[in-house]
């Protein structure tokens, strides 16, 4: 299995800082090529959200550097990834909380991290950044940990109401601002000739999954240039539609 | 940033940093002169982007807080505005936040939580009753200080305002905004007192279960699903506090306070107890009615049986003792005395032979003294039958006495007139109230007794007076007989008997009566009776009329003889 990757971010129309952070790495291991993609949407007063998001990105990078090689000595088992990643999140949560406490501010970040091995995908998710799989249609892998998503799940709100509800940006939890963080984990087998996409909420508020699927169809994303091109087009479309948030998207094409 | 050991306002020595809020730091300070500890809250100007607007809010807020005075609120005693910072001096609340208590010990005992809830409810009620109302908006364990004496104090009025001013277009995290009520996210109407009710409910939920409603599964479940030992009353209260729609919650702190004070009364256990109490009360009540019913039924059937027995005995009565047996069976009925349509009574039975013998008199007088009743086990008891009849049936009693009296008067087989009257009077006296004529008989009887007494003693004056009385009695008896007796056979019979009695009376006392009135008057009376009796044309009574007539003739002779002698 081989991968082409691309990542793009934009500060958006109104914000003074880009608090989103993104990292995509193609890693050569004993078990073949792997991809680690991490996307964080930071938040917080005093424009320190990017500190939180960057901190989490770095923590996953360190993991890829320090712990992943050791894991690759043997076949990778799901529970090991789960426990190591949960530790990363808890650790980051405490660290960011302590940092915010020291400054007297509250800051935090969402995180969606995805590891693609030759056969499996591993995703950890906190907050409302998302992972999608585009293969014969578009499939959202992660579930938003947002107030509106829970209301929809509880049947108190319809999907349509959730899109326009004022509370759509209220997260149930995030790394750095909750007492305890309970991340969601998603594991599965990866498909050949598919596109895996991570995006922040700013990327998807104004455009529909159908539009995403049309632009990011695996048949259209044949090289890195085309992937970047398509990403930038959609980011521009977002801005045309007056998206105010930072906009970030990461793409991984398997072949 | 205040330095440890520095002096603020020349009074407050900063001892220690005890907390840090959104834009402020809280220090413990000591007023060394007064030797009292204070909390010093410093809002740093350099740490806040737009300090002026923040300061405006702070000034307004502290102005409000300065006016507050409640045992569960810290009081603000001073506000100092320096170049670098804005400093608020307030009560130092010793103790730990409930948040720490939760982290350390987990879920808190229900009794404590309810006690705290009452105090917090009291504070909220106090805040909501200010003019204008103060909505706290940020009730959570971290903002509640548990003092060493077990009471709680609500601290930190800053974050509430902070949240209110939050731009909701930005991504925010539920964990940072506390147990925000649905309406606090905007778009669901204004926040009001009921918002605080929601947050208090969420706080109680967190305290009593140890589960943070802001952590997965992000919902407030019925608390007994988490710990079945908790009170169902408290469960109801928390559920009601945390309804999504503010209209479904308690509408005021006072309402919630009432519920908290009576939480065990809406408890299932309590309800069960009350139900048990009700059952315990109802069972004897129902049994009372059942037993009353049974006894009434038993009594009725006994009465019924008695009636059957009575009727049977009476219907088959053929000798004197049968009547007495019937009377003992049910002394409250008069049938055995007076007879029914089917069967004659005791009185008729006794006088059927035309006279009342002295034996019959003996048994009749036993009625007064009481009859012997032999019960099933063979014991005999004396039943005062006439007393019982009097109790049960006054009119019947009078009638029985009257009729017995008449039986004596007309049939008693004694030669001396006054004895007959005396015997009759013993019965008539009980019938006086209902039968005026009975009274007359009694009076006549008294007269006769007195006449006997005075004639024996030779007191002529009194004797004369008594004869005068007797004369009056006789005439009024005659009037009464004329006016009051009916004209059917029975009434006429009675009339004839009364006349007969009057004639007898005159014949026996002709001389004396003529003396006290006059011969003519006596004759007039006799003639009157004679005239009236001759008007009666009743075949059944012909014999009585005839005997009365002969009686009259003899009496007239006797009276005339007196006249002759006198003449």
Which residues does chain A have within 8 Å of residue B170's beta carbon, measured at their own beta carbons?
Answer: 43, 169
Pairing of strands A170-171, B172-173: parallel
What angle is formed at CA B176 by the lines to CA B14 and CA B135, rounded to 5 degrees? 80
Which CATH number belongs to the domain containing residue B152 in this structure? 1.10.510.10
What's the pLDDT score for residue A45?
A: 58
Distance from CA of A219 to the nearest CA of B (A): 34
* One domain, residues B36 and B80: yes
Q: Is residue A164 included in any domain, yes or no?
A: no
> Which candidate from A104, A105, A169 shows the least CB-CB separation from B170?
A169
The reply to whether the predicted model has a pTM over 0.80 is no
Give the pLDDT band (50/70/90) at residue B547: confident
* One domain, residues B76 and B55: yes
Question: Can you tell me the ipTM of this complex?
Answer: 0.73
Nearest chain B residue to A47 by CA: give it: B49
Q: Is residue A109 included in any domain, yes or no?
A: yes
Among B219, B216, B188, residue whose Cα is nearest residue A143: B216
For B9-19, letters b (16+ CB in 10 Å) and e give eebbbbbeeeb
Give the pLDDT band (50/70/90) at residue B249: very high
Length reported for chain A? 255
Distance CA B487, CA B463 (A): 37
Cis amide linkage into residue A38, ω under 30° from 0: no
Pairing of strands B144-146, B152-154: antiparallel
Task: Look at residues B431, B454, B489 and tell me which one is the last residue of a structural domain.
Answer: B431
Give the pLDDT band (50/70/90) at residue B283: very high
Q: Which of A93, A167, A181 to mutate to test the interface with B (most CBs of B within 10 A)?
A: A167
What's the pLDDT score for residue B189?
A: 62
Under 8 Å CB-to-CB from B562, ≥6 apart: which residues? Answer: B510, B511, B514, B519
Among A79, A88, A80, residue whose Cα is nearest residue A109: A88
What does residue B68 show for φ and ψ, rounded to 5 degrees? -80, 145
Task: Look at residues B42, B70, B91 and tell me which one is the last residue of a structural domain.
Answer: B91
* One domain, residues B87 and B100: no
Distance CA A122, CA A113 (A): 8
B406-449 pLDDT per residue, tens = 888 888 877 777 787 888 888 888 888 888 778 878 888 887 88
What's the pLDDT score for residue B50?
A: 66
Query: Does A167 contact B185 at a Cβ distance shorter than 8 Å?
Result: yes
For A11-27, letters b (16+ CB in 10 Å) and e give bbeebeebbbbbbbbeb
SS3 A192: coil
Burial (CB < 10 A; 0-12, 13-18, 19+), residue A5, is middle
Which CATH number belongs to the domain containing residue A213 in this structure? 3.60.40.10
What's the pLDDT score for residue B163?
A: 39
What's the pLDDT score for residue B561?
A: 81
> Which candidate from A101, A128, A178 shows the least CB-CB separation from B175?
A178
Q: Is residue A42 included in any domain, yes or no?
A: yes
| Cβ atoms A151, B187 nearer than 8 A | no
Nearest chain B residue to A42 by CA: give it: B171
Q: Is B218 on the interface with A (CB under 8 A)?
A: yes
Residue B60 CA to its chain's centroid (Å): 61
Distance from CA of A165 to the nearest CA of B (A): 8
Which residues does chain B have within 8 Å of residue A177's beta carbon, measured at their own beta carbons?
Answer: 173, 175-176
Query: Does B171 contact A43 at a Cβ distance shorter than 8 Å?
Result: yes
Q: Is residue B291 included in any domain, yes or no?
A: no
Q: Is B248 on the interface with A (CB under 8 A)?
A: no
* One domain, residues B143 and B168: yes
Query: Does B22 contact A45 at a Cβ distance shorter than 8 Å?
Result: yes
* One domain, residues B415 and B439: no
What's the pLDDT score for residue B192?
A: 83
Query: Does A147 contact B185 at a Cβ distance shorter than 8 Å?
Result: yes
Length reported for chain B? 567
Average pLDDT, chain A: 90
* Number of neighbours of residue B25 by Cβ within 10 angstroms: 19
DSSP string, A61-115: HHHHHHTHHHHTTS---HHHHHHHHHHHHHHHHHHHHHHHHHHT--EEE-EEEEE
* One domain, residues B195 and B102: yes
Average pLDDT, chain B: 82
Q: Is residue A134 included in any domain, yes or no?
A: yes
In this model, does residue B177 exceed pLDDT 70?
A: no
Nearest chain A residue to B43 by CA: give it: A104
Tokens of B305: 């049986």
Which residues does chain A have within 8 Å of residue B25's beta carbon, measured at their own beta carbons?
Answer: 104
End-to-end CA distance of chain A: 6
Q: Which of B159, B166, B171, B220 to mutate to test the interface with A (most CBs of A within 10 A)?
A: B171
| Cβ atoms B405, B367 nearer than 8 A | no
Residue B407: domain span: 317-431
| Cβ atoms A104, B162 nearer than 8 A | no
Distance from CA of B129 to the nearest CA of A (A): 30
SS3 B356: strand
Token match 């002759």: residue?
B564
Least confident stretch, B171-175, B195-199, B391-395, B411-415: B171-175
Nearest chain B residue to A172 by CA: give it: B174
Count contacts between A and B (CB, < 8 Å).
89
Region of B38 on the Ramachandran plot (φ > 0 left; ψ -120 to 50 alpha; else beta): beta
Among B358, B337, B361, B362, residue whose Cα is nearest residue B349: B337
What's the pLDDT score for residue B167?
A: 45
What's the pLDDT score for residue B567?
A: 44
B145-174 pLDDT per residue, tens = 999 998 999 887 654 444 344 444 566 776
Distance CA B19, CA B26 (A): 5
Helix (H) or strand (E) holding B31: strand B24-31
Report which of residues B19 and A110 the model is more confident about: A110
What angle is formed at CA B283 by the lines to CA B282 and CA B289, rounded to 5 degrees? 90
Query: Does A178 contact B21 at a Cβ distance shorter than 8 Å?
Result: no
Q: Is residue A212 included in any domain, yes or no?
A: yes
Report which of residues A110 and B492 the model is more confident about: A110
In this model, does residue B337 exceed pLDDT 70?
A: yes
Among B349, B342, B282, B269, residue whose Cα is nearest residue B312: B342
Q: Which of A17, A19, A45 to mutate to test the interface with B (most CBs of B within 10 A)?
A: A45
Number of independent structural domains in chain A: 1
Distance from CA of B168 to the nearest CA of A (A): 7
| Cβ atoms A238, A14 nearer than 8 A | no
Q: Is B170 on the interface with A (CB under 8 A)?
A: yes
Tokens of A27: 């890693």
Give the pLDDT band (50/70/90) at residue B354: confident
DSSP string, B169-220: TS-EEGGGS-S--GGGGSSS----HHHHHHHHHHHHHHHHH---TTSTT-S-
> Which candidate from A104, A179, A245 shows the least CB-CB separation from B21?
A104
What's the pLDDT score for residue B160?
A: 44
Residue A190: domain span: 3-141+173-254
Q: Which of B2, B27, B98, B175 to mutate to test the interface with A (most CBs of A within 10 A)?
A: B175
Beta bridge partners of B40: B27, B89
Distance CA B194, CA B115 (A): 20
Q: Is residue A168 included in any domain, yes or no?
A: no
What's the pLDDT score for residue B493?
A: 80
What's the pLDDT score for residue A234?
A: 94
B472-530 pLDDT per residue, tens = 888 888 887 777 777 777 778 878 888 888 888 888 888 888 888 777 888 888 888 88
Distance CA B532, CA B526 (A): 10
Residues above pLDDT 70, as percent of chain B: 93
Number of independent structural domains in chain B: 4
| Cβ atoms B323, B364 nearer than 8 A | no
Report which of residues A193 and A172 the model is more confident about: A193
Task: Look at residues B378, B409, B431 and tell me which one is the last residue of a structural domain.
Answer: B431
What's the pLDDT score for residue B505?
A: 81
Q: Is residue B140 included in any domain, yes or no?
A: yes
What angle is formed at CA A26 by the lines to CA A230 and CA A246, rounded to 5 degrees? 45
Helix (H) or strand (E) holding B7: strand B7-8
What's the pLDDT score for residue B564?
A: 59
Query: Does B187 contact A166 at a Cβ distance shorter than 8 Å?
Result: yes
Q: Is residue B181 included in any domain, yes or no?
A: yes
A117-131 pLDDT per residue, tens = 999 999 999 999 999
In this model, does residue A115 exceed pLDDT 90?
A: yes
Query: Does A179 contact B168 at a Cβ distance shorter than 8 Å?
Result: no
DSSP character at residue A30: T
Nearest chain A residue to B188 by CA: give it: A166
Least confident stretch, A44-48, B67-71, B87-91: A44-48
Least confident stretch, A59-73, A214-228, B216-230: B216-230
Q: Is residue A162 included in any domain, yes or no?
A: no
* One domain, residues B255 and B129: yes
Distance CA B552, CA B85 (A): 142
Mean pLDDT of A155-168: 82
Alpha helices in chain A (DSSP H): 49-66, 68-71, 78-103, 147-154, 159-164, 201-204, 209-215, 224-240
Give the pLDDT band (50/70/90) at residue A53: very high
DSSP character at residue B266: S
Q: Is residue A121 included in any domain, yes or no?
A: yes
């Amino acid at each position: 299995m081989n991968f082409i990757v691309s990542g793009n971010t934009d500060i958006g129309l109104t914000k003074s800082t880009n608090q989103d952070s993104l990292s995509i790495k193609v890693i050569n291991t004993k078990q073949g090529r792997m991809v680690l993609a991490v996307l964080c949407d930071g938040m917080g007063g005093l424009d320190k959200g990017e500190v939180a998001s960057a901190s989490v990105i770095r923590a996953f990078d360190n993991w890829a550097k320090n712990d992943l090689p050791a894991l690759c000595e043997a076949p990778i088992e799901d529970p090991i990834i789960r426990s190591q990643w949960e530790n990363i999140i808890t650790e980051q949560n405490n660290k960011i909380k302590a940092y915010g406490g020291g400054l007297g501010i509250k800051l935090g970040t969402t995180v969606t991290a995805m590891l693609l091995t030759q056969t499996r995908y591993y995703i950890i998710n906190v907050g409302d950044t998302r992972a999608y799989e585009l293969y014969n249609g578009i499939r959202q892998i992660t579930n938003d940990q947002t107030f509106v998503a829970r209301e929809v799940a509880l049947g108190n709100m319809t999907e349509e109401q959730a899109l326009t509800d004022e509370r759509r940006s209220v997260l149930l939890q995030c790394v750095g601002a909750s007492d305890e963080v309970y991340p969601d984990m998603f594991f599965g087998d990866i498909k050949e000739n598919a596109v895996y996409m991570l995006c922040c909420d700013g990327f998807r508020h104004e455009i529909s999954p159908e539009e995403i699927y049309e632009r990011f169809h695996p048949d259209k994303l044949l090289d890195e240039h085309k992937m970047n091109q398509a990403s930038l087009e959609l980011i521009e479309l977002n801005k045309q539609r007056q998206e105010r948030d930072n906009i970030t998207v990461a793409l991984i094409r398997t072949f | 940033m205040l330095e440890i050991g520095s002096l603020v306002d020349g009074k407050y020595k900063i001892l220690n940093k005890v907390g840090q809020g959104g834009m402020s730091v809280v220090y413990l300070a000591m007023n060394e002169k007064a030797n009292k500890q204070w909390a010093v809250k410093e809002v740093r100007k350099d740490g806040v982007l737009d300090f002026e607007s923040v300061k405006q809010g702070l000034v307004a807020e502290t102005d409000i807080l300065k006016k507050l005075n409640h045992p569960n609120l810290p009081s603000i005693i001073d506000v100092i505005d320096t170049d670098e910072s804005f400093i608020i001096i307030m009560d130092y609340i010793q103790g730990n936040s409930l948040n720490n208590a939760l982290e350390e010990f987990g879920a808190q005992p229900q009794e404590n939580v309810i006690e705290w809830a009452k105090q917090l409810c009291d504070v909220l009620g106090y805040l909501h009753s200010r003019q204008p109302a103060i909505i706290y908006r940020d009730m959570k364990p971290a903002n509640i200080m548990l003092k060493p004496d077990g009471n709680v104090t609500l601290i930190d009025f800053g974050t509430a305002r902070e949240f209110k001013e939050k731009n909701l277009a930005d991504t925010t995290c539920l964990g940072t905004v506390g147990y925000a009520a649905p309406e606090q996210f905007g778009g669901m109407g204004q926040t009001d007192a009921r918002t605080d009710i929601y947050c208090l409910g969420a706080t109680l939920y967190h305290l009593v279960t140890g589960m943070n409603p802001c952590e997965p599964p992000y919902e407030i479940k019925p608390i007994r699903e988490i710990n079945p030992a908790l009170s169902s009353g408290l469960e109801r209260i928390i559920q009601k506090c945390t309804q999504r729609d503010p209209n479904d919650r308690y509408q005021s702190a006072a309402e919630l306070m009432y519920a908290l004070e009576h939480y065990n009364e809406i408890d299932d256990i309590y309800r069960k107890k009350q139900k048990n109490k009700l059952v315990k009360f109802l069972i004897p009540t129902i049994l009372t009615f059942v037993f009353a019913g049974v006894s009434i039924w038993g009594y009725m059937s006994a009465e019924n049986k008695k009636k059957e027995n009575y009727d049977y005995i009476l219907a088959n009565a053929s000798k004197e003792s049968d009547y007495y047996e019937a009377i003992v069976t049910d002394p409250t009925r008069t049938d055995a005395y007076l007879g029914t349509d089917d069967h004659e009574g005791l009185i008729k039975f006794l006088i059927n032979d035309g006279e009342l013998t002295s034996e019959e008199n003996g048994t009749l007088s036993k009625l007064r003294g009481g009859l012997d009743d032999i019960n099933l086990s063979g014991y005999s008891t004396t039943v005062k039958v006439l007393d019982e009849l009097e109790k049960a049936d006054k009119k019947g009693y009078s009638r029985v006495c009257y009729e017995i009296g008449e039986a004596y008067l007309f049939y008693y087989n004694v030669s001396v007139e006054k004895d007959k009257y005396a015997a009759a009077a013993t019965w008539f006296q009980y019938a006086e109230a209902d039968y005026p004529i009975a009274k007359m008989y009694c009076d006549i009887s008294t007269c006769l007794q007195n006449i006997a007494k005075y004639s024996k003693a030779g007191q002529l004056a009194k004797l004369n007076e008594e004869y005068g009385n007797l004369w009056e009695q006789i005439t009024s008896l005659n009037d009464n007989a004329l006016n009051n007796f009916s004209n059917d056979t029975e009434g006429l019979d009675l009339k004839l008997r009364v006349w007969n009695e009057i004639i007898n009376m005159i014949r026996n006392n002709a001389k004396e009566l003529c003396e006290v009135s006059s011969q003519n008057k006596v004759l007039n009376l006799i003639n009157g009776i004679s005239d009236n009796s001759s008007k009666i044309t009743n075949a059944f009574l012909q014999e009585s009329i005839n005997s009365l007539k002969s009686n009259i003739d003899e009496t007239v002779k006797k009276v005339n003889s007196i006249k002759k002698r006198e003449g």
